[in-house]
Structure 1
Amino acid sequence: MSPPLRAAVIGLGWAGSVHAQALARIDGVELVAVADTDPTRRAAYPHLYQAADVTGLLGHDLDYCVVATPTATHEQVGLTLADAGINALIEKPLAPTLAAALRLAAAFEQRGLVASVGHTERRNPAIAELATRLRAGDFGDLYALATRRHSPFPDRIRDTGVVSDIGIHDVDLIAYLTGRPISSVAARTASLTGRGHDDLAVAWCLLDDGGLASMELSRVAPLKERLLVLHTAAGRVSVDAVTRTITHHTNAAIGAGAPLTGFRGMSRGRVISHHIEGPEPFHAQSLAFRDALRGRAHDLVTLREGVAAVAATEAILAAARLGTDVPVATSIIPKASHAVEESPL
């Protein structure tokens, strides 16, 4: 039997703490070290090796690191790990700019390392079930997709706005669920808190096949809302990622056994709703990274997919600033591959 994979978490804020808890429950992985500039945060892990930053971990025989530091530091921390030959799971957004995200992706690819970006919304059980059913053709043609993501103000997030902070999830989900990259965007944003970042945003996305998607974002709401609405040949499908519920308002115009291609009309049918059980997203992500390192089948979000998400959010902010449609730089992002490669671990 192979020895446990030796892991470390860099950055012990909210996300880093959740990663540490998830790693502590994964068979075949041993959390052996943590790093954070705050000694008080490090003190919460007295049984682990502690360092102030990534350089203090490099001689500690690590198989991989989780990078949960502020977004502005992802490039420096990630490049240090890549140079040291250490695999990495990097929190979203992959980097603060498209150029930095591309440099990160190239660094890990050139060294043949396993690397992923933490788009955990894909691993919400309801969204994962939706993706499976879409790929199976259960809902037929997908006409359009809309997302709503609202949150109370996160005092801990001070270095970025709502588009880069939580909108990054939705641009990733749009590409993931439709199977198509976003080719251009239009958007408007507003800042209410005086911190110089966007707090409200709406964006309209055109996919490369002409498909439509829209996003509505805020971090000044008195509630947490995570909703996806899909218009399909089989009717309207909505997913509440908070309650993990899928609700299908069926299209009565589609007869039993009829092909779900082409528009055959739309009329009200019965409503079907399901609560979806499944593992916690951070736990599922940790399992996938372990399996990737062991050379097993996995569904990691690749760094190239992380690059694509950064490209889309960068275009949304540019569109809001310029007041015009902006193309997304997809031509420089090679199509991601989910092929499983042999791993020495």
Structure 2
Amino acid sequence: MKTAVIGTGAMGQHHVRLYSDIAGSELVGVVDHNTAQTDRLCALYGGRAYTDYREMLDKEKPDAVTIALPTSYHHQATMDCLDAGIHVMVEKPIAKTVDQAREMIAKAKEVNRVLKVGHIERFNPAVTQLKERLADGQLGRIFTIHSRRQSPYPGRITDVGVASDLATHELDMMRYIAQSEVHSMTAEISKVMNTDNEDIVFGLLRFENQILGILDVNWVTPTKIREISVTGENGMFTVDYLNQNLTFNSNYAAEQNENQSDWFKAKFGVAEGDFTRFRVEKREPLRVEIESFLECCRDNSSPLVTGEDGLEALNLALKIVDCNYNCGCKKIDNS
């Protein structure tokens, strides 16, 4: 398949590298206004450099593209690519507004092309194994999901706040793990870096299946933290996204009863048990994600992260900011 990348910032340049290396992908175009960047990337990985993606679409006619532009440009670029009959992987957040996201989803359906949103953590091997263990019932009933995504302030991002940029990752992961939609939430945000957008978000979510979600996201921590913990009847799983580690703290009280459901009904309690670190076969999540995207393009099948998934993550992120100004618990409208 002929592939191209539109936008070569922090994420886009990695898409260029991988499209040039993945079997079955022929990198034909690299687009950015930064000509020094595109010239450097094309010299390293191939393809031809462009400053205008419309010119690239017309000359190269790619089958699939990644759009890694600033969020404000996601909508127009995606619509143009879909109109040209091209499959699209757009980095998260899917768009600046919910209405834009809906238009993108509708256009993809109209032209029968794949629209995939770049929520990369679903392709993290530690998350894949976590999902398998949860599906196998190893945790029993889930009580809480606690997400932490923290880092220093990224000066390159000026068009959205931390809710749209970082919280969308964790909101998508919470939905993916809970297998349920959010019923209600309350949140607090703060602006401490003298910007127009929020840089600290704390949120408390209740899912329709009664799982509680705790969201702790910011741009003011002087180190990167990427972690999600899932607590249930039998203990707690924790994923360290950065190191692709999956660990488990068992509930000793649950282990003492052969019938887990009887343990839960009797409320025997919780006690500290064994700590286990599972072996995870590590792979670059972005490579796995792009390979999955290209496979969907070939088969014209539904991706693991659909446009609707991206829409809901964006919707929740924007509602979190709205919660801060409207105060109190807010029921979510998923329409």
Q: How far off is 1:108 after superposition? A: 0.4
1:153-194 CA-partner distances (Å, limit 9, x unpaired): 111111111111111100000000111111222111111111
Normalised to the residue count of structure 2, the TM-score between the two structures is 0.93
Please give the secondary structure, in 1, of the residue aligned with 2:93: coil
Measured in 2, the distance between the counterparts of 1:108 and 1:258 equals: 50
Measured in 1, the distance between the counterparts of 2:257 and 2:13 equals: 49
Measured in 1, the distance between the counterparts of 2:24 and 2:106 equals: 28
**2:310 counterpart of 1:306:** yes
Q: How far off is 1:299 after superposition? A: 5.0
**Of 13, 22, 25, the match for 1:26:** 22
**Of 278, 288, 292, the match for 2:292:** 288
Q: How far off is 1:210 after superposition? A: 2.3
Counterpart contact for 2:113–2:300, Cα < 8 Å:
no
1:248-293 CA-partner distances (Å, limit 9, x unpaired): 1111222478454445432222111225222101100111012112
Q: How far off is 1:122 after superposition? A: 1.3
Q: Which amino acid aligns with 1:56?
A: E
Matches within 5 A, 1:82-93: 82-93=82-93
236-245 or 75-84: which moved more? 236-245
Partner of 1:96: 96
Q: How far off is 1:130 after superposition? A: 0.7
Measured in 2, the distance between the counterparts of 1:327 and 1:29 equals: 44
Aligned residues: 327
**Higher helix residue share:** 2
Q: Which amino acid aligns with 1:312?
A: L
Measured in 1, the distance between the counterparts of 2:278 and 2:203 equals: 29
Q: Which amino acid aligns with 1:74?
A: H
Counterpart contact for 1:289–1:298, Cα < 8 Å:
no
Normalised to the residue count of structure 1, the TM-score between the two structures is 0.90
TM-aligned CA distance change 1:253 to 1:19, over 3 Å: same
Q: How far off is 1:300 after superposition? A: 2.6
Partner of 1:144: 144
**2:66 counterpart of 1:66:** yes
Measured in 2, the distance between the counterparts of 1:298 and 1:106 equals: 14
Please give the secondary structure, in 1, of the residue aligned with 2:299: coil
**2:133 counterpart of 1:133:** yes
Measured in 1, the distance between the counterparts of 2:232 and 2:137 equals: 10
Q: How far off is 1:298 after superposition? A: 7.5
Matches within 5 A, 1:1-345: 5-44=1-40, 45-46=42-43, 47-59=46-58, 60-255=60-255, 258-261=258-261, 262=264, 264=267, 265-295=269-299, 300-330=304-334, 332=335
Counterpart contact for 2:148–2:226, Cα < 8 Å:
yes
TM-aligned CA distance change 1:275 to 1:10, over 3 Å: same
Q: Which amino acid aligns with 1:51?
A: Y
Measured in 1, the distance between the counterparts of 2:260 and 2:14 equals: 41
Q: Gaps spanning 5+ residues in structure 1: where?
A: 333-345
The Cα RMSD (Å) is: 1.7
Q: Percent of aligned positions with the same letter in both sequences?
A: 27
Measured in 2, the distance between the counterparts of 1:55 and 1:255 equals: 61
TM-aligned CA distance change 1:279 to 1:259, over 3 Å: farther
Please give the secondary structure, in 2, of the residue aligned with 1:74: helix
Please give the secondary structure, in 2, of the residue aligned with 1:43: helix
Measured in 1, the distance between the counterparts of 2:127 and 2:175 equals: 13
Measured in 1, the distance between the counterparts of 2:224 and 2:94 equals: 24
1:14-41 CA-partner distances (Å, limit 9, x unpaired): 1100111111221011111111122222
Please give the secondary structure, in 2, of the residue aligned with 1:223: coil
1:88-137 CA-partner distances (Å, limit 9, x unpaired): 00000000111111111111011110110000011122112111211121
TM-aligned CA distance change 1:81 to 1:251, over 3 Å: same
